[in-house]
Amino acid sequence: MSEARATMRGNGRLASIRVEDIDDIARGAAILGAGGGGDPFLGSLLAKHAIEQHGPVPVLDPADVPDDALVLPVAIMGAPTVIVERPPAGDELPRAVEAISRRMGRPVTHIAFFEAGGLNSMTPIQVAAQTGLPLIDADGMGRAFPELQMVTFSLEGISASPMVLADDKGNVVLLEAIDNVWAERLARVSTVEMGCGAPIALYPHSGAQTKTAQVPHTVTLARDIGRLIRETRAEHGDPAEAVTERFGGRVLLRGKVVDAQRSTSGGFVRGSSTIEGFGKDEGSRLQLEFQNENLVARRDGRLVATVPDLICVLDADTGEPITTEALRYGFRVTVIGLPCDPRWRTEQGLALVGPRYFGYDVDYAPVEAG
């Protein structure tokens, strides 16, 4: 994906985030979210409000972060359907940042993106504006995944602990887990008790580590993808074709949603949807299965895309991305597959986020291979 990502940076790297950047970043991040990460609409409103109150947020290239910096990724954990209905109050993450600073014995100096997708692309912007701390143009996934250990930080041996969860009642939970899988298990239980959605701060690490442990320039990438969709639509082009061409991906099916099933359990949204093809895809059916994010796509029973590649659903007319919790019967959509960051295609990466981890008895094959 590195070549595809490089071609997406033609408009120049972000130096700061202003109110007018938010919509493009949110749109592009919803693509990178692969259906998950939460609906960015609510987060974009909160991020805009924070910038209006506190001013533009400075954004640093990971290469420019001092080696001795204390970098803190932040996000919201839980079921996207619940988070939309029960949004955070707004002061939870600044309290979590303070708690990590106390635990580490020194102040957090930089805010990082935990994942690039959906609502969690907006959360760090809001917190950076509220705290006055700079953001890093990178994230820990290059997309969105459903579990906390599914990050490039884990591939680099960085611990999720100490980790803090905060809720709207004033509760703050400090977790010290023996490994990152246990951090996920313990945090998931706490999240359920907090109403199936909780702001989190985790994986504190140094500036030296951030240079190798994060997927670089994903915030700029999200901005550029969002801009590409907006400009292509304004020119009466096909946003799905534009994105797949620039990303090196492919269109999996164009059709109408004829079934959408979902349920919330264990802090996740799980379900499936069925899409009947129209136009040149008439007569075909695509089945999507998801756990917060879209994980597997089968066309007429044949596997056409799997995690860790990105499976994204776009509105057929506007090109706007549609999250798993928003997908409904009757929607006319285009489903696309995009290649993931190369390190997820390694043996270590696939063990952490490949289809077999999620219980699918299939081997991963790159989406661009057809």
- Out of 2-11, 173-182, 352-361, least confident range: 2-11
251-273 pLDDT per residue, tens: 999 999 999 998 876 667 788 99
- The per-residue pLDDT of the chain, averaged, comes to 92
Please tell me whether residue 113 adopts helix, strand or coil conformation: strand
Q: How far apart are CA 334 and CA 288, in angstroms?
A: 12
- Out of 42-46, 84-88, 209-213, least confident range: 84-88
Domain segments of the chain as ranges: 2-219, 239-369
Q: Residue 141 in contact with residue 116, Cβ under 8 Å?
A: yes
How much is the pLDDT for 225?
96
Q: Of residues 83 and 115, which shows the higher confidence score?
A: 115
Q: Which two tokens stand for residue 341?
A: 């960051």
Same fold, 2-219 and 239-369: no
Hunting for tokens 């007569």 — which residue is that? 283
- Out of 88-92, 138-142, 199-203, least confident range: 88-92
Q: Of residues 335 and 4, which shows the higher confidence score?
A: 335
Domain 239-369: give its CATH architecture. Answer: Beta Barrel (2.40)
77-93 pLDDT per residue, tens: 876 656 666 667 678 99
Q: How far apart are CA 314 and CA 228, in angstroms?
A: 14
Q: Residue 100 in contact with residue 201, Cβ under 8 Å?
A: yes
SS3 content of the chain, % helix, strand, coil (to 5): 35, 25, 35
Q: Which CATH class is domain 2-219?
A: alpha beta
> In the chain, which ranges are E strands?
16-17, 57-60, 70-78, 110-113, 135-139, 163-166, 172-175, 197-201, 205-206, 215-216, 250-265, 268-277, 285-291, 293-299, 302-306, 310-315, 321-322, 332-338
**Percent of the chain topping pLDDT 90:** 79
- Non-local (6+) Cβ contacts of 162 within 8 A are 100, 103, 104, 174, 175, 176, 202, 204
